[in-house]
């Protein structure tokens, strides 16, 4: 397939209904030919602009590792083992309106820099920028000497950060065709990166099980190290208010951390890590495949979700740590779950080569 080729997906042959029951949070999937009437009872109340409460998207030829909504919420991008970035419309028939190709190995992570530009991290050791309107690659950043596992874009400005198996986290300037701006030596392979809101600090996680905080004005060593995970940290996600960081780990632990610059000690004997660890969310699983499972926040910060190897989409209430939704449907590891930026919609990406858009109660 040529770079930037357009591929239009077939309409989904299945539809589903979400039963709004927080005790069971079950999903019922029915064939389109046997689809129930969606307009005759209170259970059919709709909460979003999706064409149906659940939309199934297919087209990838390998496991899907990451999925992300565009900031405007009109589009979605997915990437994975087939080395391709699929671009989807969120509404209507959820058409696959473009496929971007050019990476020489799996796409491990991706993020939207703005409504037009996507950054990707790949096992081919590169970080790339893509123009989704033109359908082509605009930058190819080289410098990592190992698989590039993670990438994030600053909330403001033009900075990108990436983490790789070469034990470095690197800052890049989106406007530059040159090499790395700053390189941080992390000691062990880096599998997750995230900026704070002010782009003053960078958070990294890796195979040393440690969450590191870096001051971007002085990057010789991390200014803080937080402990609690007992295996590789697979993803990091900053809360909408910028005060809390979510970390997912291969120890099947999902933590929320207070990452404000100063936190008063809970007691004279408590450690910094204990002071900053706000919550532990139970339910999500990791398995021997050791995929870098994602995690995410709803746009209002009230809900969180995480990838899970048990084929389930897990959604929790952040304030109480109670599991709100336990959503089956996938036939393989759920590698990533993302919330829509404006509506009560979640997107899940799986090793079963499928994506679901699902509507939940607000």
Q: Which helix (H) or strand (E) holds 167?
A: none
Would you state the pLDDT for residue 150? 99
Rounded CA gap, 58 and 247, in Å? 29
Sign of CA dihedral 11, 327, 52, 356: negative
DSSP string, 202-264: EEEEETT--EEEEETTB-SS-SEEE---SS-EEEEEE-TTSSEEEEEETTS-EEEEE-SS---
Contacts of residue 73, defined as CB under 8 A and 6 or more positions apart, other chains included, come to: 90, 340, 341, 342, 343
Would you state the pLDDT for residue 136? 96
Please give the domain boundaries of the chain with CATH numbers for all domains.
Answer: 14-259+268-359 (2.130.10.10)
Would you state the pLDDT for residue 72? 98
Condensed to tens digits (0 to 9), the pLDDT of residues 223-256 reads 999 999 999 999 999 999 999 999 999 999 999 9
Contact 213, 161 (CB under 8 A): no
Q: Which residues of the chain, if any, have pLDDT below 70?
A: 1-43, 266-269
Would you state the pLDDT for residue 269? 65
Would you state the pLDDT for residue 178? 77
Q: Residue 235 forms beta bridges with which residues?
A: 248
Q: Residue 140 forms beta bridges with which residues?
A: 128
Contact 294, 286 (CB under 8 A): no
| Cβ atoms within 10 Å of 255's Cβ, excluding its own | 23
Q: Which two tokens stand for residue 41?
A: 């009872």
Would you state the pLDDT for residue 262? 83
């Amino acid at each position: 397939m040529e770079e930037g080729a357009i591929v239009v997906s077939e309409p989904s042959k299945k539809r589903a209904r979400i039963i709004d029951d927080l005790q069971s949070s079950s999903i019922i999937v029915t064939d389109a030919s046997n689809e129930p009437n969606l307009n005759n009872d209170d259970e059919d109340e709709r909460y979003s602009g999706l064409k149906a409460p659940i939309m199934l998207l297919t087209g990838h030829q390998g496991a899907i590792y990451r999925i992300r909504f565009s900031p405007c919420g009109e589009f979605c991008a997915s990437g994975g083992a087939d080395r391709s970035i699929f671009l989807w419309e969120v509404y209507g028939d959820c058409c696959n309106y473009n496929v971007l190709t050019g990476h020489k190995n799996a796409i491990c992570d991706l993020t939207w820099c703005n409504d037009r530009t996507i950054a990707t991290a790949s096992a081919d050791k590169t970080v790339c920028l893509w123009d989704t309107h033109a359908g082509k690659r605009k930058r190819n950043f080289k410098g990592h000497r190992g698989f590039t596992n993670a990438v994030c874009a600053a909330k403001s400005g033009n900075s990108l950060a990436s983490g790789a198996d070469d034990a470095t986290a690197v800052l890049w300037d989106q406007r530059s065709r040159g090499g790395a701006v700053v390189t941080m030596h992390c000691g062990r392979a880096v599998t997750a990166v995230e900026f704070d809101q002010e782009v003053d600090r960078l958070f990294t996680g890796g195979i040393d099980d440690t969450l590191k905080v870096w001051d971007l004005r002085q990057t010789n060593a991390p200014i803080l190290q937080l402990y609690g995970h007992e295996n590789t940290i697979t993803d990091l996600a900053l809360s909408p208010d910028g005060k809390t960081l979510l970390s997912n780990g291969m120890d099947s632990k999902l933590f929320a951390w207070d990452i404000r610059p100063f936190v008063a000690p809970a007691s004279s004997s408590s450690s910094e890590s204990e002071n900053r660890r706000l919550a532990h969310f139970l339910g999500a699983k990791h398995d021997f495949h050791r995929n870098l499972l994602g995690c995410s926040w709803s746009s209002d910060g009230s809900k969180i979700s995480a990838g899970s190897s048990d084929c389930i989409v897990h959604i929790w209430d952040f304030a109480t740590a109670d599991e709100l939704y336990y959503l089956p449907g996938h036939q393989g590891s759920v590698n990533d779950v993302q919330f829509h930026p404006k509506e009560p919609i979640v997107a899940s990406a799986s090793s079963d080569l499928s994506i679901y858009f699902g509507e939940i109660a607000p």
